[in-house]
């Protein structure tokens, strides 16, 4: 995984697996604070403290298809490699928040990458999970909310190729306008 957006895709995938109906991705990119803060929050099944502790261990997974889970340990490893902080806040039956705070100018920090691209993939999920992408920079902020867009367009699903292309272009343009590193 060579982009932070791909870590986000994996963590949001965990949220979908955890039965979330809504997943919120918050990113704050601040040159003033020299910080890139990424938070993925869901209203899924949550984790008890034991599972939460084990989730940071690469050899723990509730998967039945293979016996290692790498999503969380990989993100944690990468954040700590660049002098940042990693934390999980979770409550059973309530939900989970995964937070990674990177030093923005650290030479080993991976590029943020394509958030419009991963949002496109996330919107293709067949479970109808809603996504919010909120990005802020020192210059401004932008929020994409799948539920509001569906209501605005009076449609039940955004999973349509021409629409997904238009939405990912829209996200890209809005991120560009606030001077975001992400595309
Ligand atoms: N948002 C979440 N809600 C509830 N449980 C979670 C959540 N995220 C992770 N977990 C638990 O932590 C475990 C480890 O997650 P991790 O992403 O590291 O590996 P994985 O999803 O099992 O496998 P991989 O990411 O390699 O495909 C999961 O198997 C699951 O039990
Ligand atoms: Mg995972």
Angle of helix 71-81 relative to helix 4-17, nearest 10 degrees, comes to: 150
User: Whose CA is closest to 15, among 49, 36, 39, 50?
Assistant: 39
Residue 130 and residue 147 in contact, taking contact as beta carbons nearer than 8 Å:
yes
User: Whose CA is closest to 96, among 87, 105, 104?
Assistant: 87
Q: What is the pLDDT of residue 70?
A: 87
Question: Mean pLDDT of all residues in the chain?
Answer: 94
Looking at residues 54-80, what average pLDDT do you find? 81
Q: What is the pLDDT of residue 148?
A: 98
Using the mean position of ligand 2's atoms as its centre, give its distance from the Cα of residue 173 in Å.
29
Alpha-helical runs (H) found in the chain = 4-17, 49-55, 71-81, 115-123, 146-153, 161-177
89 φ, ψ to 5°?
-120, 120
pLDDT tens per residue, range 8-28: 999 999 999 999 999 999 999
What CA–CA distance (Å, rounded) separates 94 from 118? 25
Cβ of 95: how many Cβ atoms within 10 Å?
A: 22
Residue, of 70 and 4, whose pLDDT is higher: 4
Using the mean position of ligand 1's atoms as its centre, give its distance from the Cα of residue 55 in Å.
6
What CA–CA distance (Å, rounded) separates 6 from 117? 10
pTM: 0.95
C-beta of 96 in contact with ligand 1 (< 6 A): yes
Is the pLDDT at 65 greater than 90, yes or no?
Answer: no
Pocket test for ligand 1, best of 55, 60, 129 (most atoms within 8 A of CB): 55
User: Whose CA is closest to 139, among 98, 181, 97?
Assistant: 181
Q: What is the pLDDT of residue 18?
A: 97
């Amino acid at each position: 995984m060579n982009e932070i957006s791909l870590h986000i895709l994996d963590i949001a995938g965990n949220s979908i697996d955890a039965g979330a109906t809504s997943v919120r991705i918050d990113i704050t990119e601040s040159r003033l604070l020299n910080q890139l803060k990424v938070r993925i929050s869901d209203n899924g099944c949550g984790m008890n403290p034991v599972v939460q502790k084990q989730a940071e261990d690469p050899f723990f997974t509730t998967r039945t298809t293979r016996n290692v889970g790498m999503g969380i340990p990989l993100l944690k490893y990468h954040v700590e490699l660049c002098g940042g902080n990693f934390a999980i806040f979770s409550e059973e039956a309530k939900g989970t928040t995964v937070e990674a705070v990177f030093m923005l100018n650290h030479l080993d920090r991976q590029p943020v990458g394509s958030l419009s691209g991963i949002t496109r993939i996330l919107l293709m999920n067949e479970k109808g999970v809603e996504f919010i992408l909120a990005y802020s920079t020192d210059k401004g902020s932008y929020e994409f909310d799948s539920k509001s867009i569906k209501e605005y367009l009076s449609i039940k699903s955004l999973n349509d190729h021409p629409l997904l292309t238009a939405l990912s272009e829209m996200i890209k343009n809005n991120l560009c306008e606030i001077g975001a590193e992400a595309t």
